[in-house]
A and B are shown apart, each in its own frame.
Chain A
Amino acid sequence: MADDVEQGFRAEVAEWLKANFPASLAYKNPQPYHNDGALADADADFQLWLRRIADKGWGAVTWAPEYGGAGLTRAHEAVINQEMARIGAFNPNRSYGMMMLGPTLLEYADDEQKLRFLPGIAKGTVRWCQGFSEPGAGSDLASLQTKCIDQGDHWLVNGQKIWTSGANHAHWCFCLVRTDTSRKQAGISFLLIDMSSPGVEARPITLISGTTHFAEVFLTDVQVPKENIVGGVNQGWAVAKRLLQFERDSLAGNRAEAPSLAPLAKRYIGEDADGRIADPDLRRRLILNSMRSRAYSQTFQRAAREAKAGTGTSPALSAVKNLGSDVSQERGELIVEILGNRGLGWEGGGFEPDELEATRAWLHSKAYSIYGGSFEIQNNITAKRVLNLPDYQ
């Protein structure tokens, strides 16, 4: 693919990165530096990097310049990504807006909405959160109840959203609301809500990992302009399904092959006379996880190759997501087991920063099989769509 890019582009990219990527960020795990989080806000170099990328249009490489992108091809994007990876740089504009809303708007929004909302996403200046789940509507998302009533010159919204990631840092929320109570899927609309509107209140929820990654969002008599509906009144379910596809794509792609845990295990546990990890039972489970992790990334590469060649027989994404969450959750368990008593720390002295971080990561990893469609829901999808088994209901 990268062969299609004109000669010299790669060198240009490399040169620009060299001049503009702040050295302090090299090989920093981009995950905590997600542009929806507090860490990103606090880091001046991160903010600088984001501004530079945005000015270059590389926050959304393939989007048209009027939408804040650089108007380049996927091949160019691939070259940029490769060059970034080479020096430990990363795209600072990873956000819910980029991963989910942006691509959806490109397909479903009208021209005015695109011009209004896409540049903020591409530049990383406007942060979005996803207001889909409700206390009574999780896996069965279409049973959502947040009411949205037509008041002539505006919508009036009342209801409650929950598990809204990044809500306390977000400027805007893409929401699913009910505009018709007589029909389930066909009564849902896709609505964009300004988080600073009167009547919007986000209350942080503390996760088992101690972070306040997400919030409950209460919507009380919130007035929303009529033009903020995407895809038409009562047409929101199709928009939401497309958006969830983008979400699944990005989640499944999130976890490429992770580095070997053997050095860590040998450092913490020691080696036997034969040079093996000294705890045979743990060693065996580490080996299994490593093998599955490698086969998982092989699956990923294969899916990409096959998608490119259009053979149409790629492994189903729903199954790939489950393999991925399985492999990385097990890895989280193994790391904490390797750390032993050092894996029990919560904060403060007596523990290395890496140890504390590993413990939090282990706790957080339990979410992998819940969000973006739970493990069980993915299996329902595989059974129905891939294996063509009849509906279980």
Chain B
Amino acid sequence: MAVLNEEQRMLRDGAEAWALDRAPVTALRRLRELDGQTGFDPDLYAEMAEMGWTGILVPEEFGGSDFGHLSLGLIVERLGRTLLPSPLIDSAVAAVGALRLAGNAAQQERFLPALASGELVAVLALDEDRRHPQRQVALAAERDGDGWRLSGVKRPVPFGMAAGLFIVPARTTDGVALFLVDGDAAGLDRRALREVLPRGAAILSFDNVAVGPDALLSPPGEGQGVLDRVLDRACICQAAEMLGAAVQAFETTLDYLKTRKQFGRIIGQFQALQHRAANLYAELELTRSAVEAALAALDEDGDDIPVLASLAKALAGDTLRRMATEMIQLHGGIGMTDEHDAGFYLKRARVADMSFGNAAFHRERYARLCGY
């Protein structure tokens, strides 16, 4: 665990207390049963906003606290333990990051306070179909007077049914640009996707959506650079959330190893299982180191952020997937039941891995950055 200052300790303890009370895995189950399309519980999100979490990366002049990424990382790690679905990373990290990095004064004034207060949820409309884009954006933007027209499809867009604002990377004749598109823009059609876990994912179809000049967040040619930096931040926070899920999967499994009896003894006495547990513990520690180093680098504005982001996301992806798989295996039959939580961890492992580029994508990116 990172060495924390007073402020960070208070945040962490606050998140711990709140999560125990308000965000057990049953919160996820409830959402699933409701079959709603938002993918998160707006009341819980409002409570999170009230505690200031949505404003942790927003400057004070826009109503935030600017506490930094390590602080936010502590919170998402805690929420990740019980898999609480919320657009905190999508909106309070990625969208806030994009506006801070590229927004002009008017755009920042218009959106940052609403994002900080939690009234507005904004998300990236990033992926276009099967894979995280590797620098090929199909959705096209064409000039139309002093504005633009957007056409194409984005899917899946997490929390796309509920978001009030989208940040949309689009291809232009002069390279990638980023646009701010209202959720109810004319010509934008949203259709809900049902995925293995609720996260309010949507297919967004842009049919000649007209936007004004004030919708241009990053001009053609500059969009990709901004997007890369935004994604680094999102990836690192996503990795922190995945670490939390992995820690919980491990602890739940460890508890089971200490209680379940077979052959007249506690199964945790079998050395084969002890060594698996010890190896998993080592993987968790390795992943924690990568995540915390990356969070610290964001706050220090280090120059190796892209490498550390890809390292953290790739390790977190592999570790959580392995942990969730072992969680099921070491629980035996009960782990296969819908009644048990293990399946949720496996599903989250897959969904979270696919968010902002999966482990394979980030291994390759790391390799390129490091000259392999």
Q: Footprint of B on A, CB under 8 Å?
A: 260, 262-263, 265, 276-277, 283-284, 286-288, 290-292, 294-296, 298-299, 301-302, 305-306, 309, 311, 313, 315-316, 318-320, 322-323, 376, 378-380, 382-384, 386-392
Contacts and interface: CB of A to CB of B under 8 A. Distances in A.
Given A283-B367, A295-B290, A322-B282, 17 more contacts: A260-B371, A262-B370, A277-B372, A287-B363, A287-B370, A295-B286, A299-B286, A315-B289, A379-B275, A379-B278, A380-B271, A380-B278, A383-B278, A387-B281, A389-B277, A392-B270, A392-B271
Contacts of B279: 322, 379
30 contacts: A265-B372, A276-B367, A287-B370, A290-B370, A290-B372, A291-B315, A291-B363, A294-B311, A296-B286, A298-B292, A302-B293, A306-B3, A311-B3, A315-B285, A316-B285, A319-B278, A319-B281, A319-B282, A320-B282, A322-B282, A379-B275, A382-B281, A382-B282, A383-B277, A387-B277, A388-B258, A389-B258, A390-B258, A391-B269, A392-B270
A380 B372 CA distance: 37
Contacts of A376: 275
Contact of A287 (B285, B315, B372): B372
Contacts of B372: 262, 265, 276-277, 283, 286-287, 290
A247 B165 CA distance: 58
A299 B270 contact: no
Interface of B: 1-3, 254, 257-258, 266, 268-271, 274-275, 277-279, 281-282, 285-290, 292-293, 311, 314-315, 363-364, 366-367, 370-372
Contacts of B281: 316, 319, 382, 386-387
Contacts of A382: 277-278, 281-282
Contacts of A284: 363
Given A286-B372, A298-B290, A306-B3, A389 B285 contact: no
B228 to A, nearest CB: 19
A309 B3 contact: yes
B286 A379 contact: no
Nearest to A296: B286
B244 to A, nearest CB: 15
A277 B274 CA distance: 39
Contacts of B277: 382-383, 387, 389
A291 B282 contact: no
Contacts of A383: 271, 274-275, 277-278
Contacts of A378: 278
Contacts of A388: 258
A379 B289 contact: no
A312 B185 CA distance: 53
A323 B286 contact: yes
B1 A292 contact: no
Contacts of A322: 278-279, 282
Contact of B367 (A287, A305, A390): A287
Nearest to A313: B1
A318 B274 CA distance: 14
Contacts of B370: 260, 262, 287, 290
B314 A291 contact: yes
The 8 closest A-B pairs by CB, nearest first: A383-B274, A298-B289, A382-B278, A379-B278, A315-B285, A299-B289, A319-B282, A309-B3
Contacts of B293: 298, 301-302
B246 to A, nearest CB: 14
B299 to A, nearest CB: 15
- Find the residue from B1, B269, B288, B289 having the highest chain A CB count within 10 A: B289
A258 to B, nearest CB: 13
